[in-house]
Structure 1
Amino acid sequence: MTASASVEAIAGPGGATRLPVLRSQAPLVLRRTPSAVYLVGGAAGPIGGDELDLRIAVGAGAFLRLRTAAASIALPGLDGRESVLRVSVTVAAGGRLEYLPEPLVVSAGARHATLVSAALAEGASLVLRDELLLGRHGEAGGSARTVLQVTYAGRSLLRQSLSVSGTDPVALGPAMLAGHRAVGSLLLAGEGADPGTDVTGGDAADRATPERAVMRLAGPGILLTALAGDAVTLRRRLRPGAVSGGRGPRAVLGGQGPRAV
């Protein structure tokens, strides 16, 4: 299956966010709510062989929070092909995007790739969460790869990739997942992600263990990465503590979303 969806947010009068473009194609179905735009699965999957394309554009001074209604489950196809989700993001100066999907569960035998490319103008900001769970209950899980490329003001800010498999001893070994089945990251990039940001978060045990790491980028950005045995623990380890700055990344902790008209 090949499908695409796109959403564009622009600043409207009175601080409202307008959505002049909200285009869906099953299984990528976009639905607006007062607090966020939700990506609702219009069919099972992704299934091996699917080619899915999601485009997100945030205009100058606009704010968009994009979530998914539930976790997605990558399923194997009949021919063993890989399913691919490509996410293309642009955020203009003064704009802000919070892309906060629920976890992707890679079922046994599935092969999936998530490829994210984001271009931020100077003064833009981005909060991006990515969570991966190998297998449903009782499953070892299939294979997955993620690629994240972010530029800020025309300069490269972050380029990283991860490839894991529930049946690969190397992926499960101490150099990668260290026996965990959940892995994820939280990127705070652009305006508000200053070097003084406090992202310790979690309880004392979380801060003291090697399952959670913080990397300050060579530019306005901070990347949190974490490992866990389950999705609930992973989410807790990816939650930042206190964040400074007016319209900075504190909104990832909750709060008022855009008023869409």
Structure 2
Amino acid sequence: MSSGAQLAATGSPFAPAAGIEETCGHPDGVRATARIRATYNGRVTTLPQLRSDGPFHLRRMRTSGKTARVGIIGAMSAPLGGDRLALDITAEDRAELDVTTAAATLALRGPTTAPATYDVRLTAGEHARLRWLPQPLISAADSNLQQTYTVSLAATSRLLLREEQILGRANEKPGHLVSRIRVHRAGRPLLDQHTAYGDPAPGWDGPAVLDGHRAVGQLLVVDPELDVSRAPILLREATEDGCAVLAPLAGGPALLATAVAPTSSALRELLDEALRHALGE
């Protein structure tokens, strides 16, 4: 059964990115922080904290082994201009947690041109496993969104993070989308990546960036047992279905795949292929 079908039937050590307080104080915006906390009781992973808020409705999903699974259902249209939204997700020591969303997230303009912010904070303790696998984020015309991932990992924790962004709906230009991924492992920086798409970002659609593609994504795999003694791998070079590169990160046992594609389905295929290479399958 798919995640969508099943859905139908506490704090991070990092502060929000600089400037959030100034840019998201519009009185018309929604302020919401949903929280998920998973703990291991010696047999299975439990969910002592599952706090829905604003547009985030959290649902327990059918478990698999000792892994807890949570689905996020959108309870209202969000993010809109001026919104300040946050997800705070923690897998404590030895917990195993999978989090997904029931549908794509659609960024819209809303009643104000002020930017919306969407802050996802992920924390994994010692020997924990955290998988963040949402559906794509769609940047609709005239929207303005600043999305930030802030990830804190212990030295022995494992992470799988997938980010997919669709720039514009059918036959429309995208809004302005700024995304940043900051990852610390064992207190040391592992990744700090900043991207910007849509006007007024310069050159975002040029041959050195997206080359006309409208779907872009990243896949980050962190695992102490990961084989990172490899050269970067280029997937589907010079094809009309997009391409991806899978490369090791210097700061730890981690592999990062970055992909561009003409459609969301082609992007997902590329990221799935990159994950198989990362896991040696």
SS in 2 for 1:174: coil
DSSP-derived class of the 1:172 partner? coil
Which residue of structure 1 lines up, in the alignment, with residue 4 of structure 2?
Answer: none
2:264 equivalent to 1:231: yes
- For structure 2, the 5+ residue unaligned runs are 1-29, 64-68
1:118 to 141, 148, 151: 151
* 173-182 or 236-245, larger mean C-alpha shift: 236-245
* Residue 152 of structure 1 pairs with residue 185 of structure 2: yes
User: Which amino acid in 1 is paired with 2:166?
Assistant: L
Equivalent in 246, 255, 278 of residue 214 of structure 1? 246
CA–CA distance in structure 1, aligned partners of residues 89 and 201 of structure 2: 34
Separation (CA, whole Å) in 2 of partners of 1:165 and 1:12: 46
Distance 1:192 1:139 in 2: 44
Counterparts in 2 of 1:158 and 1:8: CA distance versus 1, 3 Å? same
SS of 2:78 mapped into structure 1: coil
Note if 1:3 corresponds to 2:35: no
Q: Which runs of 4+ in 1 moved over 3 A?
A: 166-169, 196-202, 207-210, 242-245
- Superposition RMSD in Å: 2.2
* Cα distance, 1:37–1:201 mapped onto 2, change above 3 Å: farther
Find the counterpart in structure 2 of residue 174 from structure 1: 207
Deviations 1:74-132 (A, max 9, x none): 00022211111111111101001000010000100001111011110110011000010
> How far off its partner does 1:13 sit?
3.4
Report what 1:193 is aligned to: 226
Paired residue for 1:67, among 100, 110, 117?
100
Asked if the contact 2:37–2:48 (Cα under 8 Å) also holds between the matched residues in 1, the reply is: yes
Q: Distance in 2 between the 1:159 and 1:169 partners?
A: 20
AA in 2 matched with 1:147: R
Q: Choose 134-143 or 58-67, whichever is displaced more.
A: 134-143
Give me the whole-angstrom Cα distance separating, in 1, the residues matched to 2:168 and 2:200: 10
Matched AA of 2:62? P
Q: Distance in 1 between matches of 2:143 and 2:38?
A: 34
**Take 2:158 and 2:213, find their aligned partners in 1: how far apart are those partners?**
31
Residue equivalent to 1:256: none
2:111 aligns to what? 78
Contact 1:140/1:167 (8 A) holds in 2: no
Give the whole-Å Cα distance in 2 for the aligned partners of 1:12 and 1:170. Answer: 50
> Larger relative contact order (C-alpha < 8 A, sep ≥ 6)?
1
Unaligned runs of 5+ in 1: 251-261
Q: What count of residue pairs does the alignment treat as equivalent? A: 242
SS of the equivalent of 1:238 reads helix
Q: Percent identity?
A: 36
Q: Is the 8 Å Cα contact of residues 224 and 253 (structure 2) preserved in structure 1?
A: yes
Q: Distance in 2 between matches of 1:187 and 1:244?
A: 12
What is the letter of the counterpart of residue 127 of structure 2?
G
Residue 32 (structure 1) aligned with residue 64 (structure 2): no
Please tell me the residue identity of whatever aligns with 2:270.
R
TM-score by length of 1: 0.86
CA displacement 1:165-208 (0-9 Å, x = unmatched): 16767111112111001100000013233315899697xxx256
The answer on whether the counterparts of 1:90 and 1:118 sit within 8 Å (CA) in structure 2 is yes
CA-to-aligned-CA distance 1:123-179 (integer Å, 9 cap, x gap): 001100001001111111111011000011111000001000167671111121110
Q: Report the Cα distance in structure 2 between the residues aligned to 1:176 and 1:83, rounded to whole angstroms.
A: 24
8 A contact 1:198–1:242 mirrored in 2: no
Secondary structure of residue in 1 paired with 2:172? coil
Q: CA 1:51/1:87 → structure 2, altered by over 3 Å: closer, same or farther?
A: same
